[in-house]
Structure 1
């Protein structure tokens, strides 16, 4: 069996250590660890990378600590519009849902779109109906709302009125979750999910459900999931650009991932990403104060981090 590896993220941003209580930082790290264990259990049992990234992202969507699923951001009208995509790097199959409101785990709906094989993306009420018809768990929109997100919306709208939006913390604005996996057959897969950013215009679509922008996987090269200012990721086709730099220019994973972030415009665009190459090497660069992230090496050694400090979790089962 070839090497297996997994990396996850829960968004990047300014992330001042004082911005959240210590208990929330710890809960976020625990959720990252749970996501790693969920995805790794699939890979260690000989499962597919596609199943592993779906399993990992479901855990993060279910955690109120991240802006995806339960705990997603509210738009300017106080509503949720959730986006997700998933891709496998062999046949380059992909699926996405955009602006959904009732699907408990949007990544599962994105996977169902991929498995359906007819389209790559479904949007709005049609995507909700599609998921319900396929027996996915559906919820009332209020399920996604947390008190923190209500407070974020009030704060962002107040900043808008005062003209101080630029001073908002990342916690007030946006976030994303994602996973990338390499399985024992050498296949790569990536998935991304988000609630967008707080106080976004209704109908806004970011990079997370756009294949090639926020999510991309290509066997033999790399898998990528991004987080940051989605409009810039779309304009730069960021996730696809990582693969191109590696496949066409021969860049190593670390060089390619650092390069796409450095080249984003305008200067100062907040961004981060996670990536794996075909050998299971991990990259998780970011240009902000921190990024929720975790990874498992081909040897089974697991780690989580939010800022510079990395917390080892020990070795996960590889049998």
Structure 2
């Protein structure tokens, strides 16, 4: 193996271009770029894909522009319940947390679950207690709250009251962040983190912490991180389905990913997207909404970020701050 690859997403169903100022769009793209830089630094130094995806996702969890960590969605009771998972394609080891309320970086807790090895998925208050025992930073609920998420919750409640929930904008519904990577040693990894969807039922858990659905990695095949209506990603076991199509039907990454997003999920009329990387370094990022926050690094070391159709080059600043 002579190369590495990295791709990230910050959720599909992004807002219409006119919903934010150009400065706000630029800020979101900058944070995508910063996430790419964090993951790329690990891979360029010969580090593990597992460490790279965690590093990239943590940057997006700390950003207010994405629905994970700081800036996560609020459930029907105005509470943040956070989900995340991470998977090592070399060993198929995985870790996840769901319905946590105080973990600053849920993907770091998922990684701790993986490293601890006793479980794959920890839920609710037990996940919060585990993170605290592992020395991971925890926060009060208001740390995760942003004005935009409050407005989205109010908008979704208004839709429910008016019976127009099906017509809500994708950006009012959900969002997720994720990363996939191939390292110099030929190993794959994937990680995903989310606050779920706005006004979700108390205790609802989506696909992001479900291994094989929202997150999957298998050496020699692919790594996948999804974003969209999680219930359907769970039903279709999307991450594993893409890997299975490649392994058993011989499809390439682009074909397998496109068929799952654009054909298998299409009859459900839901927003869906994902990023994936194959064992040969190919990258796919299909989505069926107006946009998807996404980014990737090309073989020449250039960083690319996008929200809608237009793709921008991100030039890292000399000062990492």
Structure-2-length-normalised TM-score = 0.96
Displacement after TM superposition at 1:173 (Å): 1.1
**Relative to structure 2, which stretch is displaced further, 264-273 or 205-214?**
264-273
For residue 300 of structure 2, what is the aligned residue in structure 1?
299
Q: Provide the C-alpha distance between the structure 2 equivalents of 1:186 and 1:216, rounded to a whole number of angstroms.
A: 16
For residue 169 of structure 1, what is the aligned residue in structure 2?
169
CA contact (8 A) 1:15 1:171 kept: yes
Misfit runs of 4+, over 4 Å: 314-317
Unmatched segments (≥5 aa) in structure 2: none
Displacement after TM superposition at 1:83 (Å): 0.1
Displacement after TM superposition at 1:18 (Å): 1.4
Please give the root-mean-square deviation of Cα atoms over the aligned residues, in Å.
Answer: 1.4
Is 1:270 matched with 2:271?
A: yes
Unmatched segments (≥5 aa) in structure 1: none
CA contact (8 A) 2:84 2:107 kept: yes
CA contact (8 A) 1:96 1:110 kept: yes
Q: Provide the C-alpha distance between the structure 2 equivalents of 1:56 and 1:43, rounded to a whole number of angstroms.
A: 11
Q: Provide the C-alpha distance between the structure 1 equivalents of 2:198 and 2:35, rounded to a whole number of angstroms.
A: 24
What is the aligned length?
A: 317
Q: Provide the C-alpha distance between the structure 1 equivalents of 2:220 and 2:171, rounded to a whole number of angstroms.
A: 36
For residue 281 of structure 1, what is the aligned residue in structure 2?
282
CA contact (8 A) 1:301 1:315 kept: no
Displacement after TM superposition at 1:166 (Å): 1.6
Structure-1-length-normalised TM-score = 0.97
Is 1:47 matched with 2:57?
A: no
Q: Provide the C-alpha distance between the structure 2 equivalents of 1:153 and 1:313, rounded to a whole number of angstroms.
A: 32
CA contact (8 A) 1:280 1:297 kept: no
CA contact (8 A) 2:69 2:82 kept: yes
CA contact (8 A) 2:223 2:278 kept: yes
**Relative to structure 2, which stretch is displaced further, 7-16 or 33-42?**
7-16
**Relative to structure 2, which stretch is displaced further, 12-21 or 225-234?**
12-21
For residue 218 of structure 1, what is the aligned residue in structure 2?
218
For residue 116 of structure 1, what is the aligned residue in structure 2?
116
CA contact (8 A) 1:39 1:53 kept: yes
SS in 1 for 2:217: strand
